[in-house]
A and B are shown apart, each in its own frame.
Chain A
Amino acid sequence: MIIEILISACLVISGVFGLVGSFGLIKLPDPMMRLHAPTKATTLGVGGALVASMLYMHFVNGTFSFHELMITLFLFLTAPVTGNFLAKTHLHLNRKASDLPPTATDRPWATYESDEMRERIEAAEDASAD
């Protein structure tokens, strides 16, 4: 009975978070805000569904499998990486370098640093380190 309540709670929480994540993708006004909803809420939602599946397989079917944990781990590892890449794409496409605040170092924002500039700066840093 307790297990049943636990599995049902996991399923309901997962469904609500998945719905909220996808609704935020439509509702939120700014591209940077829209990045928040799917990368956080949906990841938690799919984690809830996989935990519910693991509990169900263990306590109702009697078979234990590590696959759900592997998928959850993989999703939790890749969600920040895709979020970072999408934020960089947004900066690259929609913002000019002059719109951004200063970086407080002598290097520009990494998205706007050209290959030649990076090579020059890194060569200068190597020369000063020697």
Chain B
Amino acid sequence: MIEYALLFAFTCYGLALLMNIYRIIQSPGPGDRILALDTLVVNAIALLALFGILEGTTVYFEASMIIAMTGFISTVSFTRFLLRGDIIE
């Protein structure tokens, strides 16, 4: 049963990643593009967690932790650049 649920979750997150990529390519403004990038990072973390279940290892959690941190920092710096015209003042 877990295998089918895992397959379902993989399909959902794959479709979600495709939607995010569509939003990044065709977007009404820079704010939406940053939001789509942030969602892409979060979905990538979920995919890594699912891949860890599939393989049965905990190796991928360090990678997802680092992805979470870089995603947060990059989103904050993008918005900071749009807000202030400068990242580190």
Contacts and interface: CB of A to CB of B under 8 A. Distances in A.
Interface string A11-34: 110111011011101100001001
Contact of A22 (B15, B31, B52, B53): B15
A35 B79 CA distance: 14
B19 A26 contact: yes
B35 A86 contact: yes
B11 A31 contact: no
Interface residues of B, number: 51
Nearest to A9: B5
A107 interface: no
A89 B49 CA distance: 31
Interface residues of A, number: 54
Give the dominant DSSP class at B's interface.
Answer: helix
A70 interface: yes
B22 to A, nearest CB: 7
B79 A89 contact: yes
Nearest to B43: A18
Interface string A25-62: 11000010011001000110110011011001100110
Given A46-B42, A60-B56, 17 more contacts: A5-B1, A15-B8, A15-B13, A21-B16, A25-B35, A26-B23, A34-B32, A38-B35, A42-B43, A46-B46, A53-B53, A56-B53, A71-B64, A82-B76, A86-B31, A86-B38, A90-B31
- Complex A-B, nearest 10 residue pairs according to Cβ-Cβ distance, in ascending order: A15-B12, A22-B16, A8-B5, A67-B61, A15-B9, A38-B39, A11-B5, A85-B79, A46-B46, A19-B12
